[in-house]
Amino acid sequence: MPGSNELYLAVLPLIHISNNHILGFGLTEEVLTLFPHRDFAGKFAERDADVAIQTFLARQKYLTGNAVIGYDLFKEPVPGGLFIVRVIQHIS
C-alpha cells in the first residue's frame, strides 16, 4: 500500500575522532540528514535552505530503492525570518 513519511532536513557538523592522528583526527565536515520530528529540523537562512534543497534533490537518486520511491521538499518559514525544510518521503 503506497504511503509517505513526513521528515525534516537538518545539517549536522561532524568531527572525526581517532586514536591515529594520521587517519584523520579532528577532520570536520557537515552532513545533511533527515529527522522524523519537526523539533529536530534545522533552521536555515533562505539561501542556505535553497542550497540544501538543491543538494538533496541532486542526490536523491541514491536515497531511493526498495520501498522508497521519491521525495518532495518544501521550504517553510519559521519565526525570525528563517526557514525549515519539510520532506515528504514517498513509499510504495
Per-residue pLDDT of the chain (92 residues; tens, 9 = 90+): 689 999 999 999 998 887 777 777 888 899 999 999 999 999 999 999 999 999 999 999 999 999 999 999 999 999 999 999 999 999 99
Q: Is residue 83 helix, strand or coil?
A: strand
pLDDT (0 to 100) of residue 84 = 98
Distances from the Cα of 60 to the Cαs of 2, 22, 56, in angstroms? Answer: 19, 33, 6
